[in-house]
Protein backbone atom coordinates (compact mmCIF):
# COMPACT_ATOMS: atom_id res chain seq x y z
CA UNK A 1 0.00 0.00 0.00
CA UNK A 2 1.33 3.42 -1.06
CA UNK A 3 1.47 6.22 1.38
CA UNK A 4 0.33 9.58 0.11
CA UNK A 5 2.45 12.40 1.46
CA UNK A 6 0.54 15.12 3.21
CA UNK A 7 0.21 18.26 1.27
CA UNK A 8 0.77 21.44 3.17
CA UNK A 9 -0.96 24.47 1.76
CA UNK A 10 1.38 27.45 1.76
CA UNK A 11 -0.19 30.88 2.16
CA UNK A 12 0.17 33.18 -0.82
CA UNK A 13 2.36 36.22 -0.29
CA UNK A 14 0.48 39.44 0.14
CA UNK A 15 0.85 41.98 -2.60
CA UNK A 16 2.38 45.09 -1.09
CA UNK A 17 3.31 46.97 -4.24
CA UNK A 18 1.34 50.13 -4.79
CA UNK A 19 1.38 52.38 -7.77
CA UNK A 20 3.32 55.46 -6.87
CA UNK A 21 3.05 57.12 -10.28
CA UNK A 22 -0.15 57.16 -12.36
CA UNK A 23 0.21 55.05 -15.50
CA UNK A 24 -0.30 57.89 -17.98
CA UNK A 25 2.30 60.04 -16.23
CA UNK A 26 4.79 57.17 -16.44
CA UNK A 27 4.12 56.71 -20.16
CA UNK A 28 4.87 60.38 -20.88
CA UNK A 29 8.21 60.06 -19.08
CA UNK A 30 9.18 56.99 -21.09
CA UNK A 31 8.13 58.58 -24.37
CA UNK A 32 10.59 61.42 -23.77
CA UNK A 33 8.12 64.30 -23.54
CA UNK A 34 8.51 64.97 -19.82
CA UNK A 35 11.25 67.35 -18.70
CA UNK A 36 14.09 65.59 -16.90
CA UNK A 37 16.64 67.29 -14.63
CA UNK A 38 19.65 65.24 -13.50
CA UNK A 39 21.93 66.85 -10.91
CA UNK A 40 25.58 65.90 -10.60
CA UNK A 41 26.51 67.20 -7.16
CA UNK A 42 25.77 70.87 -6.60
CA UNK A 43 27.90 72.16 -9.50
CA UNK A 44 26.21 70.72 -12.60
CA UNK A 45 22.71 69.82 -13.82
CA UNK A 46 21.63 68.22 -17.10
CA UNK A 47 18.18 69.32 -18.29
CA UNK A 48 16.54 67.30 -21.06
CA UNK A 49 13.36 67.85 -23.09
CA UNK A 50 13.21 71.64 -22.75
CA UNK A 51 11.72 73.67 -25.57
CA UNK A 52 13.86 76.81 -25.31
CA UNK A 53 15.75 79.27 -23.13
CA UNK A 54 13.54 82.05 -21.69
CA UNK A 55 16.11 83.89 -19.59
CA UNK A 56 19.78 83.51 -18.70
CA UNK A 57 22.07 85.32 -16.27
CA UNK A 58 24.90 84.30 -13.96
CA UNK A 59 22.36 83.86 -11.11
CA UNK A 60 19.41 82.17 -12.87
CA UNK A 61 18.52 80.13 -15.95
CA UNK A 62 14.86 79.82 -16.97
CA UNK A 63 13.86 77.26 -19.58
CA UNK A 64 10.55 76.62 -21.35
CA UNK A 65 9.13 73.10 -21.12
CA UNK A 66 5.91 71.48 -22.28
CA UNK A 67 4.56 71.69 -18.72
CA UNK A 68 5.76 75.22 -17.82
CA UNK A 69 8.96 77.03 -16.86
CA UNK A 70 11.93 75.37 -15.15
CA UNK A 71 14.24 77.69 -13.24
CA UNK A 72 17.75 77.00 -11.93
CA UNK A 73 19.10 79.52 -9.39
CA UNK A 74 22.60 79.90 -8.00
CA UNK A 75 25.79 81.86 -8.61
CA UNK A 76 28.37 81.78 -11.37
CA UNK A 77 25.97 79.90 -13.66
CA UNK A 78 26.98 79.14 -17.22
CA UNK A 79 25.52 77.09 -20.06
CA UNK A 80 27.57 74.38 -21.70
CA UNK A 81 26.83 71.59 -24.15
CA UNK A 82 23.69 73.32 -25.44
CA UNK A 83 21.73 71.03 -27.77
CA UNK A 84 18.28 71.32 -29.36
CA UNK A 85 16.41 69.77 -26.41
CA UNK A 86 19.08 69.40 -23.71
CA UNK A 87 21.72 71.49 -21.99
CA UNK A 88 24.04 71.48 -18.99
CA UNK A 89 24.08 74.31 -16.43
CA UNK A 90 27.31 74.67 -14.43
CA UNK A 91 27.99 76.76 -11.36
CA UNK A 92 27.02 76.86 -7.68
CA UNK A 93 23.45 75.56 -7.99
CA UNK A 94 21.29 76.37 -4.97
CA UNK A 95 17.71 75.84 -6.19
CA UNK A 96 15.78 74.11 -8.98
CA UNK A 97 12.12 75.02 -9.52
CA UNK A 98 10.35 72.35 -11.54
CA UNK A 99 7.33 73.17 -13.72
CA UNK A 100 3.96 72.64 -12.10
CA UNK A 101 5.39 72.57 -8.58
CA UNK A 102 4.89 75.41 -6.14
CA UNK A 103 7.83 74.52 -3.91
CA UNK A 104 11.47 74.46 -4.93
CA UNK A 105 13.55 71.29 -4.82
Q: Is 90 a residue whose pLDDT tops 60?
A: yes
Mean residue pLDDT of the chain comes to 80
* pLDDT tens-place string over residues 42-84: 899 999 999 999 999 999 999 999 889 999 999 999 998 899 8
Residues 6+ positions from 96 with CB-CB distance below 8 Å: 37, 39, 45, 70, 71, 72, 73, 104, 105
Q: Is 18 a residue whose pLDDT tops 70?
A: no
**The overall pTM is greater than 0.75:** no
User: In whole angstroms, what is the distance from residue 95 CA to residue 73 CA?
Assistant: 5
Residue 99 sits at φ, ψ, to 5 deg, of -65, 140
35-97 is a CATH 2.60.40.2000 domain: yes
Q: Where are the domains of the chain?
A: 35-97
Amino acid sequence: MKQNPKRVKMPRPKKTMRRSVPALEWVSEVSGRAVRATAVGSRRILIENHTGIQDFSDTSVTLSTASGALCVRGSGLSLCEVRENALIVRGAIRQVELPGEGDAR
